[in-house]
Chain A
Amino acid sequence: MNEPMSTTVVMKARRRRLLVWAGRLVTLVIVIGGWQLLTSAKIVDKFFWGQPSGIVRQLNDWVRHGTAYGSIWLQIWTTFKEALLGFVVGVVAGVIVGVVLGQFRFVAEVISPYIKVTNAIPRIVLGSLFTVALGLGIAPKVLLAAVLVFFVVFFNAFQGVREVDRNLLNNARVLGASRVAVTRHVVIPSALTWIIASLHVAFGLAIIGAIVGEFLGAQKGLGLVIATAQNNFNPDGVFAAMFIIAVLALTAEGLIGLLERRLLSWRPPSPAEAIQA
């Protein structure tokens, strides 16, 4: 390709990127601005639906004066700690159980109907049980988050193990690999693509578990802050807490993305990634 042509291609790509970002900005302005306008014009009642300026005021107030249960940072830290602990416990348990069950066909067949049943029941309800049994501390929230995370990770790990290329397994076995070596060198790396895909959803679920746990009974945390705002007819407070949680979730998502790129660096770039590069 000659020089001037390649520069036009580069310029076109850059212009396109700029347009996409402009489009995103316009969408944001329309949604937030429309909300603000509709509520100030009293077409939508801000008493029920909140108002962007009110949400900003609420956030500002929390940062300066704290919440009813102590500083806002303490609330964020509490929820984050619960979600993170639940996430770690759930992921570790899910991976171990998934990898083991995936390799022993007999055990898998015996317990698979029970797993299906457990998966079908709304596990979030278990939160009530945990709160009654374990009290208002951190434990029931961690447990609820871990349960939610466990199933997602477990199903993916299990499926990932079962999808391992038979050729790769046979080849390793012929080369003299023991069962442990096959698991370590072939099964786990192969299932890793599936496991990591599940982590994205899993962290979101861990946060949901922590928040719902706090809803059901807690002495601090963002879930409690939301419940309080609800009881005080304060929609701005609900939205403000929601915004904080979203920031938390996005940060975690970014970190998991980094981990994914690191662990799966051997993968050929997908066509979509290649275009962005």
Chain B
Amino acid sequence: MAQIELTGVTKRFVTPSGTMFTALRDVDLMIGPGKFCAVVGPTGCGKSTTLTMVAGLDRPSAGRVEVGGQPVAGITPGTSFMFQADALLPWKTVLGNVALGPVFRHVPRKEAQAQARDWVRRVGLSGFEDHHPHQLSGGMRKRVSLAAALINEPSILLMDEPFGALDVQTKAIMSNELLALWEQTRPSVIFVTHDLEEAIALSDQVVVMTAGPGTVKAVYDIDLPRPRGAVQEIRFESRFLELHHQIWESLREEVERAYARTAQGARS
């Protein structure tokens, strides 16, 4: 468990054509230890960039990123990252992929295998230990990714639209499973998504970002009680609908602005 704090974070990139592109501008964000925070916003508002900076894969152009009171320098220890496309090694088996974290931390081979076996079981994939990723369905690969991310018992879990490519039913199942696993170890989570319902159903806090250059537009506390139970059912509760309505009002403006901009770009 660690607190994540971004203060005045700005990120600029130089595009291949040589112009400067501002992805994030003056982002201030505080995520308390053990909190589940969802970030929503229109396409291209720098949500993913925020994650890479918290992970230490990238540096801000200005401002500070702190994790657990320490400024981020190099890879942030105790972090796990779940990418949009699954980052499984196709030449390793399910067990081999899940065991990567302990292997990289120099845990003895036997113990790493035992830990991996346990996590494969926890995500419900017992019996598939020796399969290769290409032999699994999209949902199963996500389970492997989830096990591989959680095996290090991270204090911070960064998720970049992890279930974006899944069908609706599988997504609901995976969301429930994620919540159940999260409640066991309670890492601080930043969950980037396009799906507002998913964001509200899972998180303690929903951050709405503006159309690029992205900055924090508003933060909503989600006061739905925990444990939440099935995400498919919570979305019919009146408080959920109320929150959804409120946040959507704010998000819609940004989505429309981003859309208008791309439509204009397409016309010119």
User: What bracket does the count of chain A residues touching chain B fall in?
Assistant: 20 to 34
A174 touches B81 (CB 8 A): yes
B57 touches A174 (CB 8 A): yes
Bitwise interface map of A from 54 to 80 toward B, beta carbon under 8 Å scored 1, else 0: 000000000000000000000000000
Asked whether A168 and B55 contact (CB < 8 A) given A175-B100, A175-B104, A268-B134, the answer is no
CB distance from A259 to the nearest CB of B (A): 15
Stretch at the interface among B62-70, B83-91, B242-250: B83-91
Per the 8 Å Cβ criterion, residues 42-64 of B in contact with A are: 52, 55, 57
A170 at the interface (CB under 8 A from B): yes
A173 (CB) vs chain B CBs: closest residue:
B75
User: In whole angstroms, what is the CA distance A175 to B89 when docked?
Assistant: 13
CB distance from B236 to the nearest CB of A (A): 36
User: In whole angstroms, what is the CA distance A181 to B92 when docked?
Assistant: 14
Give the contacting residue for B80; candidates A174, A264, A268; CB below 8 A: A174
B267 at the interface (CB under 8 A from A): no
A189 touches B91 (CB 8 A): yes
Give the contacting residue for B101; candidates A167, A175, A186, A267; CB below 8 A: A175
B113 at the interface (CB under 8 A from A): no
A176 touches B101 (CB 8 A): yes
User: In whole angstroms, what is the CA distance A264 to B231 when docked?
Assistant: 41
Give the contacting residue for B89; candidates A168, A174, A178, A264; CB below 8 A: A168
User: In whole angstroms, what is the CA distance A189 to B133 when docked?
Assistant: 15
CB distance from A270 to the nearest CB of B (A): 12
Per the 8 Å Cβ criterion, residues 81-112 of B in contact with A are: 81, 83, 85, 87, 89-92, 100-101, 103-105
B81 touches A170 (CB 8 A): yes
Most buried by B among A174, A176, A189: A174
CB distance from A177 to the nearest CB of B (A): 4
CB distance from B65 to the nearest CB of A (A): 15
A93 at the interface (CB under 8 A from B): no
User: In whole angstroms, what is the CA distance A250 to B57 when docked?
Assistant: 47
Asked whether A170 and B101 contact (CB < 8 A) given A175-B80, A189-B89, A266-B132, the answer is no
User: In whole angstroms, what is the CA distance A118 to B101 when docked?
Assistant: 42
A123 at the interface (CB under 8 A from B): no
B84 (CB) vs chain A CBs: closest residue:
A167
A177 (CB) vs chain B CBs: closest residue:
B104
User: In whole angstroms, what is the CA distance A181 to B89 when docked?
Assistant: 14
Bitwise interface map of A from 174 to 199 toward B, beta carbon under 8 Å scored 1, else 0: 11111001000110011010000000
Contacts of A267 in B (CB 8 A): 90, 134
Contacts of B77 in A (CB 8 A): 176
Give the contacting residue for A171; candidates B87, B91, B92; CB below 8 A: B87
B90 touches A176 (CB 8 A): no
CB distance from B268 to the nearest CB of A (A): 31
B100 touches A172 (CB 8 A): yes
B193 at the interface (CB under 8 A from A): no
Asked whether A174 and B75 contact (CB < 8 A) given A181-B104, A185-B100, the answer is yes
A170 (CB) vs chain B CBs: closest residue:
B57
User: In whole angstroms, what is the CA distance A167 to B51 when docked?
Assistant: 13
B158 (CB) vs chain A CBs: closest residue:
A174
Q: Which 10 A-B pairs have the closest CB atoms?
A: A171-B87, A177-B104, A268-B134, A266-B91, A167-B87, A174-B81, A176-B104, A175-B101, A189-B91, A266-B132
Residues of B that sit less than 8 Å from A by CB: 52, 55, 57, 75, 77, 79-81, 83, 85, 87, 89-92, 100-101, 103-105, 132, 134-135, 148, 152
The 10 sampled A-B contact pairs (Cβ below 8 Å) are A165-B87, A171-B81, A172-B100, A176-B152, A181-B103, A181-B104, A185-B103, A189-B89, A189-B91, A268-B135
